[in-house]
Each structure stands twice: as C-alpha cells, then as structure tokens.
Amino acid sequence: MIESLRAWDENLFIYLNGFHIDFLDPIVFQLTQTWPWIPLYLFLIYLIVKKFGKESWWVMISIGLTILFADQFTSGFMKPFFERLRPCHDPMWEGIIHNFGKCGGSYGFASSHSSNSFGIATIMTLTLSDRYKAVKWLFLWAALFSYTRIYLGVHYPADVLVGAFVGVISAYISFYIGSFIKSKVP
C-alpha cells in the first residue's frame, strides 16, 4: 500500500514537474518567495481592520497562531520525523527532474509553503468571508503557490497535499483559540 502511494506520488511529480517553460522559471521562482505577496498580506490586514476595528487583535492572534502551528508542525516535527528527501536532493532523480533555484533543506515532507498558504486562506475565509465573499479565492492562490514547489522540483505532490491539510487544520484550531480568547476579554 505504502509503495503504491509512493509510486503514484513520484509519477504525478514527474508529470507535474514536466510542465515548465524556461522563460517562466525565474518568474515562478520569485512567486514562491514571500516578498511578492506583501501587498496581498497588507490588503488582507486592511480588510481585517476595516471589518473588526479595535477588535482586530484577536484575528491577528489567530493568524499568528495559524502560521506558528502550520510552519512548526511541518518544519519542526514532520520533516525531521519522516526524513523524506526532497526530489531535488534525491540522487535517483538526478538528470530527470527540472529544478530551478534553491533546493532548500534536505527533507520535504510536508511542505511548509503549502501549510502556511492554505492556513492563511482558511483563517481569512473563517474571519472575513461573511463580509468579503471573494476572500475564498485565496484557496486558488494557495493552490498555485503550492504548485510552484512541484514546478521548481523541491516537493512531491503528497508533500503539498499533506501540507495543505496541516494548514487548514492549524487555521481551524487557531480560529477557535482566538475566538475563545476574545470571548474571555471584556
């Protein structure tokens, strides 16, 4: 069973990693960085403050907890525990896969980029979607952001899918913690 899943994951990786165009490589590499998305993050903060005003603090706590939980669970626990090599570090893929830019640390299961982006999409949806329906489009952003990791050859699809799951769960936990704290503050 595990070998079948691994084979499926590796075959899907080879397929998805093959969709690259040389002139897009540096663009995709930049899109996987944090800095190009700062305007989006600032806009989301603006929407939070516009909706919640002085009570924005609990949403900010929820966002901080989401990123903390998602990032630390994937990077601090999963990667060292599972020790699954990133495709770009695995000698069996040498000369086969497309890798552009940095490879990152040795291990890739699960993707922190994916967990953080899906965590942000989820926490924003939980807090803002009743007023701003379009915030649900952040899931498309998270999916594209996560795909860049496969495109660049640094993550398998399972790394990204499990990372997305961790991010969603982290956001729900953080939302409830933030809501609980808010309910206890007069």
Q: What is the pTM of this model?
A: 0.94
**For 7-28, what is each residue's pLDDT tens digit?**
999 999 999 999 888 899 999 9
Higher pLDDT residue, 82 or 1?
82
List 85's β-bridge partners, or say none. Answer: 107
How many CB atoms are closer than 10 A to CB 181? 14
Alpha carbon separation from 80 to 69, 124, 128, 159, 165 (Å, rounded): 16, 29, 35, 13, 18
Domain coordinates of the chain in residue numbers? 37-184
**For 120-163, what is each residue's pLDDT tens digit?**
999 999 999 999 999 999 999 999 999 999 999 999 999 999 99
Three-state secondary-structure class, residue 85: strand
The structure tokens 């990123």 sit at: 67
Query: Residue 143: its pLDDT value, please?
Result: 97
CA separation for the pair 114, 122 (Å, rounded): 12
* Reported confidence tier of residue 101, pLDDT bands at 50, 70, 90: confident
- Rounded to 5 degrees, what are φ and ψ at 105? -65, 170
How many CB atoms are closer than 10 A to CB 9? 17
DSSP 146-164: HHHHHHTTS--HHHHHHHH
* Reported confidence tier of residue 1, pLDDT bands at 50, 70, 90: confident
Q: Which two tokens mark 136?
A: 């649900």
- Rounded to 5 degrees, what are φ and ψ at 144? -65, -40
